[in-house]
Amino acid sequence: MAGTEPRARPRLPGDSSVTSDGHGRRWRSVTATTLPLTGRPTRVISVPAMAAAVKEKEEKDSEEVDAAETEGRVRAWAAEQAARGRRVALVTSGGTQVPLEARAVRFLENFSSGRRGAASAERLVRAGYAVCFLHRARSAFPWARALPPHGPALLDALRLTPGPPPGVAAAPAALPALLPALREYRRATEAGALLAIEFTALVEYLALLRAAARALAPLGSSVMFYLAAAVSDFYIPVSEMPEHKIQSSEGPLQITMKMVPKMLSPLVREWAPEAFVISFKLETDPQILLDKSRQALEKYRHQVVVANVLESRRTSVIIVTRDSQTPLSLSDEEIAQGMEIEEKIVSYLQGQHTAFIERKG
């Protein structure tokens, strides 16, 4: 196999190979070897050039990701929240982006609108938590969900007001959803109960999660990690990526990706060992869902897995702990009333978190 044959020399950045499969077809392969991603917990993960490239292309004006700066910011914010007697939740949300080329034109993306994370963050704030919202740039955002999607629907929801001076106002039809959302958003931000941090690339997510986890660790058992982001399981190390855009004229594409180390392990063992940690498991095959959830609890030693199946994730989940499994679901009536499953999830987990704090205390 082209991607895994012994090699005469170590592969260099930009290396790729073209081989024949013996049936007259030629394959290019990009092969993974060692990885720079994890590092020991005492080292700061540097965000490689690829993250910077992605950010440039995302048209952000912001500076490069500075995990140390983020750690300081979260630490100061967390101390304020603790002083006010608030519990803190770190909610991760949205999917990660994994580049396939060094000057990346193509990416592997995990599906996630970020709806679960955004809806949960709203509910957690309502339940009295201060929420650090670590989310994919441009994914669903708490309360902004009430706005029409960016594009023609948003333009159509705005009206020119003649003035003078001329202005812009929301169309009456948009107000019933928009007014309460804007009010709640204002209340949350004025109370400092929402701290938003953005990521795009997988490496940014990993660096920022670690920074935030360390910053929150001093809060002990009163901090909840609510890990709803859809994190890629696979990536290509920077050192193994082709420098330039992969040329389609050279034939079919074969990509070999390495596994992303699971961050749950260092999170639970080292970064925030006293915290209440909830992970999410999304499967398309209901048959394997509970087994995989239990395996995760065994392996990572955290407190809760919220298990869900792609097709039914909006209306039912199973809350799995080491000694229990609790299905939560919306009735047809609740669905008709516009209730969201996140209301039940957050309410249940808040109770579990209280019990956890009491056991620890």
Residues 159-188 that bind a copy of itself (CB under 8 A): 160-161, 166-170, 174-175, 178-179, 182-183, 185-186
Selected binder of a copy of itself within 49, 79, 173, 196 (CB under 8 A):
196
Residues numbered 201-240 forming contacts with a copy of itself, rule: CB under 8 A: 230, 232-234
Residues numbered 235-294 forming contacts with a copy of itself, rule: CB under 8 A: 243-246, 248-249, 251-260, 282-285, 292
Nearest CA to 75 out of 198, 208, 217 is that of: 217
Residues numbered 56-115 forming contacts with a copy of itself, rule: CB under 8 A: 57-59, 97, 100-101, 103-111, 113, 115
Smallest separation, CB 357 to a copy of itself (Å): 30
Residue 164: cis peptide before it, omega within 30 degrees of 0: yes
Smallest separation, CB 360 to a copy of itself (Å): 31
Q: Is 25 in the site for a copy of itself (CB under 8 A)?
A: yes
| Two structure tokens written together for 276 | 């209440």
Smallest separation, CB 358 to a copy of itself (Å): 35
Smallest separation, CB 252 to a copy of itself (Å): 6
Residues numbered 310-349 forming contacts with a copy of itself, rule: CB under 8 A: 310-311
CB of 341 closer than 8 Å to CB of 314: yes
Burial class (CB within 10 angstroms; exposed 0-12, middle 13-18, buried 19+) of 309: middle
CB of 132 closer than 8 Å to CB of 117: no
CA distance readout (Å), 158 to 167, 182, 286: 10, 15, 43
Nearer to a copy of itself, 45 or 257 (CB): 257
Nearer to a copy of itself, 253 or 297 (CB): 253
Smallest separation, CB 30 to a copy of itself (Å): 10
* Pairing state between β 130-136 and 88-93: parallel
Smallest separation, CB 333 to a copy of itself (Å): 21
Nearer to a copy of itself, 51 or 217 (CB): 51
Residues numbered 133-152 forming contacts with a copy of itself, rule: CB under 8 A: 137-138, 141, 143-144, 147, 149-152
Nearer to a copy of itself, 229 or 275 (CB): 229
Backbone angles phi, psi at 94, to 5 degrees: 90, 175
| Tokens 């030629």 sit on residue | 26
Nearer to a copy of itself, 44 or 157 (CB): 157
Burial class (CB within 10 angstroms; exposed 0-12, middle 13-18, buried 19+) of 213: buried
Strands lying side by side in the sheet with 88-93: 194-199, 130-136, 88-93, 223-227, 276-283, 304-309, 316-321, 324-329
Nearer to a copy of itself, 80 or 250 (CB): 250
Query: Site for a copy of itself (CB under 8 A): how many residues?
Result: 84
Burial class (CB within 10 angstroms; exposed 0-12, middle 13-18, buried 19+) of 150: exposed
Q: How far out from the chain centre does Cα 312 lie?
A: 20
The Cα 259–Cα 256 span in angstroms is 10
Q: Which stretch binds a copy of itself (CB under 8 A): 25-33, 120-128, 328-336, 346-354?
A: 25-33
Nearer to a copy of itself, 82 or 236 (CB): 236
Smallest separation, CB 13 to a copy of itself (Å): 14
Nearer to a copy of itself, 183 or 322 (CB): 183
CA distance readout (Å), 138 to 60, 78, 325: 11, 25, 34
Smallest separation, CB 98 to a copy of itself (Å): 10
Q: Is 360 in the site for a copy of itself (CB under 8 A)?
A: no
Smallest separation, CB 309 to a copy of itself (Å): 10
Buried (b) or exposed (e) across 51-71, using 16+ Cβ within 10 A?
bebbbeeeeeeeeebbbeebb
Cβ partners under 8 Å of residue 314, min gap 6:
340, 341
